[in-house]
Amino acid sequence: MSSVGAAFRLVRAGWVLVREGVVAALPGEELSGLPKFGWRLARLFTRRRALAYERGDRLAKAVVRLGPSYVKLGQFLATRPDVVGNDMALDLAMLQDKMHTFPQAAAVAAIEASLGRKIGDLYVSFGDAVAAASIAQVHSAETVHDGVATRVAVKVIRPGVRRRFFHDLESYFLAARLQEKYIPSSRRLRPVEVTETLAQTTKIEMDLRLEAAALSELGENTKDDPGFRVPSVDWERTGRDVLTMEWVDGVKMNDIAGLIDAGHDLKAIAVNLIQSFLRHTLRDGFFHADMHPGNLFVEANGTIVAVDLGIAGRLGKKERRFLAEILYGFITRDYLRVAEVHFEAGYVPRQHNVAAFAQAIRAIGEPIHGQPAETISMAKLLTLLFEVTELFDMATRPELILLQKTMVVVEGVARTLDPAFNMWKTSEPVVGDWIAGNLGPRGLLTDARDGAKAMLALARQAPDLAARTERLSREIDLMAEHGLRFDETTARAIGKAEARYTRSGRLALWVIALTLLYIAWKLL
């Protein structure tokens, strides 16, 4: 029955998208057959007033009508231009994560339930909400340490948001399965896997202890970095549903006039922002993945403070080397090396020709080298690169797509601060230093040291590995002699799964049969 409910919720969502003109705003003239008929039908059912809005505004109104979980879905899909297309991703990226506040009494109840203490024991004062988003809202409060009152920001989970989201998640999985089944060309994008990533990402975002841990980790990584930091966490007053952290006094980065009035050097801030992001990505392999200007503050001394670390990205050493080498390859116009890096990383299947792939990459790089440096977009370069890799069956890499999305946002913020911003000149010191340290002689020594550690760890496990190999050999001999056997637990689980499947199938047939009987009765 949950599948039936998911189908109804999916139909409702589709109806809202039709009524708000989102479907009508799609380029339907390029369609043919049944899809084009459906697009024309959607235009007939669109609200008249919706036709006056731009596509991005229509999408924002529809998502707000559908509720917080669809706001989060839209923001997540904005990180996946490979799935929804670049234009739609840009529209989704503009979704404002601003919702109505919920009552202060509900926030107090959530805090007390999460921390097991009365609000008066936790905070000297607890004020009204100052901001509200799809998952949580933020309150201003005060605590006392050693007799000194300190202002803090308290983030509280929205009541009922977990139940609402996981109900809607059933609809998302249903849509993903239907897409994989009926649109074969979409299987390369792995829609079910994308939905699983959304589910996992949101689970993490809804546990504020994990956001606190991310803030703590990024704080340790950047403690010696010039001009960048994150708020400190009050762990005593942090739980699953509440996060207490340092209050940040500063100007939001989307307030350009405020930054100018405060006497800040906008060009210096843009340079600091990009170099900080690249430093976190290449050096640490851990970066803030939601660095839109509303999450960035500038303090009086010019330090950038990043908040709201619900979404974070990680890159392994292989991915960091991949990123640095392709950027360096484009700078030096060594397109063959860029192609080889894709093959070495295992991103492009071996049946393709390296030289042909290098030719496709040259088609991206050469036009860029003909432009002034300040107009070259690193984010656009990565976007074009991922488009070309589709021709060579490169599977979707979620960690690289999240990096691309974040780079698009960060570069866009930098160009807002400085329209003549030179991305390549700014990034060269950070990228060059990383390449020298990891791909030069120092990098070879580090790789040799890591290899020696791996060999030592393997040698320590040798007795256990030998015992496992011997047991596996005996099991294979037994299977060869007596055939494949299931233990009792496995057989019972298979039986239960088969029984559930049979019951579900019978139920679905009865529902269909009763529906047909009802339709026939109405016609008669």
> SS3 of 233, please?
strand
**pLDDT grade, residue 1 (50/70/90)?**
very low
72 in the same domain as 102: no
Same domain, 300 and 348: yes
Kindly tell me if the per-residue pLDDT of 248 is higher than 90: yes
Q: Considering 190, 221, 247, which residue would you say is the last residue of a domain?
A: 247
Q: CB-side exposure of 144: number of CA atoms within 13 Å?
A: 8
238 and 358 within one domain: no
341-345, 394-398, 401-405, range with the lowest pLDDT: 394-398
Degrees, nearest 5: CA angle 406-294-311: 45
| Tokens representing residue 93 in the block | 């990226």
Structure-token pair, residue 339 = 């192609």
What is d(CA 233, CA 250) in angstroms, rounded to the nearest whole number? 18
Identify whether residues 144 and 68 lie together within a single domain: no
Mean pLDDT (whole number) for 18-24: 80
CATH, residue 134: 3.30.200.20
DSSP annotation of 164: H
**Helices 266-279 and 398-417: angle between axes, nearest 10 degrees:** 170
Q: 255, 290, 418, 487: which is the annotated catalytic residue? A: 290
The count of structural domains within the chain is: 3
**End-to-end alpha-carbon separation of the chain, Å?**
29
Rg (CA), the chain: 27
Catalytic site includes residue 290 = yes
Query: Per-residue pLDDT tens for 314-372?
Result: 888 888 888 788 777 777 788 888 888 888 877 788 888 889 888 988 888 787 766 66
**Encoded amino acid at 88, one letter:** M
Task: Band the pLDDT of 500: cuts 50, 70, 90.
Answer: low
Say yes or no to pLDDT of 447 above 70.
no
Q: Assign 214 to helix, strand or coil.
A: helix
**Residue 523: inside a domain:** no
Once rounded to an integer, what is the mean pLDDT over residues 389-408? 72
Segment among 109-123, 173-187, 481-495, 497-511 with least mean pLDDT:
497-511
Q: Does the residue 517 lie in any domain?
A: no
Residues 264 and 143 in one domain: no
Q: Is the pLDDT of residue 69 over 90?
A: no
Mean pLDDT over 9-18 rounds to 82
* Residue 492 located in a structural domain: no
Q: For residue 211, with 0-12 CB atoms within 10 Å meaning exposed, 13-18 middle and 19 or more buried, which class applies?
A: buried
pLDDT of residue 249: 92
Instruction: Grade residue 483 by pLDDT with cuts at 50, 70 and 90.
Output: low
Residue holding tokens 């939905």? 195
- pTM exceeding 0.85: no
The residue that leads in pLDDT, 94 or 255, is 255
Mean pLDDT of the chain: 79
Sorting pLDDT into bands at 50, 70 and 90, what band is 518?
Answer: low
- The answer to the question of residue 20 being in a domain is yes
State whether 167 and 92 are in the same domain. Answer: yes
Share of the chain above pLDDT 90, in %: 25
Once rounded to an integer, what is the mean pLDDT over residues 211-235? Answer: 94
> Looking at 386, 409, 439, which one is the last position of a domain?
439
196 and 257 part of one domain = no
Residue where a domain terminates, one of 376, 405, 439: 439
Phi-psi region of 21 (alpha: psi -120 to 50; beta: other; left: phi over 0): left
Please write the tens of the pLDDT for every residue from 82-115: 556 666 666 666 665 567 789 999 999 999 999 9
- Contacts with 67 (C-beta within 8 Å, 6 or more apart), sequence order: 164, 168
Give the type of residue at 261: D
- Is 430 found in the same domain as 284? yes
Judge whether residue 516 has pLDDT over 60: no
**Residue 347 Cα to chain centre, angstroms:** 20
Per residue in 28-49, pLDDT tens?
Answer: 666 677 767 777 887 888 887 7
The residues, any chain, with a CB within 8 Å of residue 166's CB and separated by 6 or more, are none
| pLDDT > 80? residue 405 | no
Residues of the domain holding 219? 98-162+204-247
Across 71-80, 241-250, 331-340, 493-502, which has the greatest mean pLDDT? 241-250
Question: Which residue bears the tokens 């948001």?
Answer: 161
Residue 423 lies in a domain: yes
Antiparallel, parallel or unpaired: β 304-306 and 242-246:
unpaired
Q: What is the 3-state secondary structure (H, E, C) of 263-316?
A: CCCHHHHHHHHHHHHHHHHHHHCEEECCCCHHHEEECCCCCEEECCCCCEEECC
DSSP assignment string, 399-420 = HHHHHHHHHHHHHHHHHHH-TT
Spatial separation of the C-alpha atoms in residues 313 and 89, rounded to whole Å: 18
Clarify whether residues 269 and 326 are in a common domain: yes
Between 121 and 394, where is the model more confident? 121
Task: Compare 234 and 173 and report the one with higher pLDDT.
Answer: 234
Strand partners, 287: 313
DSSP bridge partners of 312: 288
In a domain, 289, yes or no: yes
- Burial annotation 53-68 (CB, 10 A radius, 16+ → b, else e): beebbbbbbbbbebbb
CB-based contacts of 492, cutoff 8 Å, min separation 6: none
Which residues share a beta bridge with 130?
none
Please indicate, yes or no, if residue 486 is contained in any of the structural domains: no
Poorest-pLDDT segment among 73-87, 181-195, 227-241, 262-276: 73-87
Phi/psi at 251 (5° precision)? -100, 130
Examine the domain organization and report whether 103 and 114 are in the same domain. Answer: yes
One domain, residues 314 and 384: yes
- Residue 233, amino acid: V
Residues 75 and 62 in one domain: yes
Q: Predicted confidence band at 376 (pLDDT cuts at 50, 70, 90)?
A: low
